[in-house]
Amino acid sequence: MEKPRQSDKMPDLDALQEIAGRFEAARSADPALSDADLGDLLRLVPGKRAVIRGRVGGRPCVWRIFMDPHDDVSAREWEELQRIWPDMQGKRYRVAEPLYHNAAHRLLAMEEVRGTPLLALIRTSPEEARAGLVMPGAAWLRRYTDSTESWVPAKPVGWLKRAERASATQPFARLRTLELQLITQMTRLAERIEGLDWRVAISHGDFHPNNLIADGERLTGIDTGGSGRMPIYKDIARFAMHMGRRDVIPSGRRVLGVDGGVLDAFTDAFALTEAERWRILPFMLGVEALLRVETRALSKSRIRRARDMYEALLEDLTRL
């Protein structure tokens, strides 16, 4: 068996050797892998996981190979894929089909999904068509969470503390100044949320538009490894902020730092109440803004767009 091929920058050769060795050991132990192979390396997070194209059972697949022997993430991700796959294999909204799991060797394979990431599709579509591409994304998440939704007492303080810890690592002084002002507004919102109920469900966990692959009218969700029970507003905020940080505003209306059309689409899809729309969701947008800390490796234009997004979010929060 050949070692996985690198597709972008040259990764650590020791890591490639470890991946190849792990895969060969699994193939020797499991006859179901007799025709399996590895292809192009898509992503490598040293010490954590590798994502690699390949084949299993005669089908193209994407392998997720988990490196940490003390982490059962492969088993948890496989369990979630098994839970959601029966409900999301339709013609319109679906997840990548789970194909193979080997807990002992921490290998997981799912179908390789063909199509265009939704954010790329929005960016390259005619301007008049972009806003209409957002609603299917909101409908996809509504389908994913529907069967596990419940109302529980809201607990905003824990999320606020998590956001504060992340903000303390912000390397850019100007952004840090804006973040401290955001924390003040979020603290005020948290006080207004205490005593309310909010909705929780098993959610995607990393729900941004590039984790939805469009093929005609079909949307397939990928990278569900972060799935877990959480407030539904966290994934909504993740989707909106991912676009807002990149100055992707299909509707032409910026609200709370992000596209107003995106917020309207999720409000309609989830039938958000007034409290959800104007207290809880703005609070969670602030949380998401602070959790995604900028790094010095980002371009100056990305930092500028992030600053613009922060300023717009802060301006609207002060008016709530």
What is the pLDDT confidence band of residue 20, given thresholds at 50, 70 and 90? confident
Q: Average model confidence (pLDDT) for the chain?
A: 92
Point out the least confidently predicted range of 13-27, 165-179, 199-213, 288-302: 13-27
Q: Looking at residues 56-71, what average pLDDT do you find?
A: 90
Statement: residue 12 has pLDDT above 80: no
- Residue 2 pLDDT more than 70? no
pTM as predicted: 0.91
Residue 14 has pLDDT above 80, yes or no: no
Distances (CA, A) of 52 to 77, 199, 215: 16, 36, 21
More confident residue, 5 or 116: 116
For 222-264, write each residue's pLDDT tens digit: 988 778 899 999 999 999 999 999 999 999 999 999 999 999 9
Rounded to a whole number of angstroms, the distance between the first and last alpha carbons of the chain is: 60
CB 73 within 8 A of CB 66: yes
User: By CB neighbour count within 10 A (0-12 exposed, 13-18 middle, 19+ buried), where does 290 fall?
Assistant: buried
Q: Which of 23-27, 66-70, 74-78, 100-104 has the lowest mean pLDDT?
A: 66-70
Contacting residues for 32 by C-beta, under 8 A, at least 6 apart: 56, 57, 100
- Please give the domain boundaries of the chain with CATH numbers for all domains: 5-111 (3.30.200.20), 116-319 (3.90.1200.10)
Among the residue ranges 63-77, 148-162, 208-222, the one predicted with the least confidence is 63-77
For residue 4, the model assigns a pLDDT of 55
What is the model's pLDDT at position 5? 54
Q: What percent of the chain has pLDDT over 90?
A: 80
The per-residue pLDDT for 7 is 45
Helix (H, G, I), strand (E, B) or coil at 228: strand
Q: What is the pLDDT of residue 8?
A: 45
Burial of 252-285, coded b for 16+ CB within 10 Å and e otherwise, reads eebbbbbbbbbbbbbbebbebeeebbbbbbbbbb
H/E stretch holding 214:
strand 212-215
pLDDT at 313 over 60: yes
pLDDT over 50 (residue 220): yes
d(CA 297, CA 143): 36
Contact 287, 297 (CB under 8 A): no
User: 155-205, pLDDT tens digit by residue?
Assistant: 999 999 999 999 999 999 999 999 999 999 999 999 999 999 999 999 999
pLDDT band at 11 (very low <50, low <70, confident <90, very high): low
Q: What percent of the chain has pLDDT over 70?
A: 96
- Read off the pLDDT band of 1 (50, 70, 90): very low
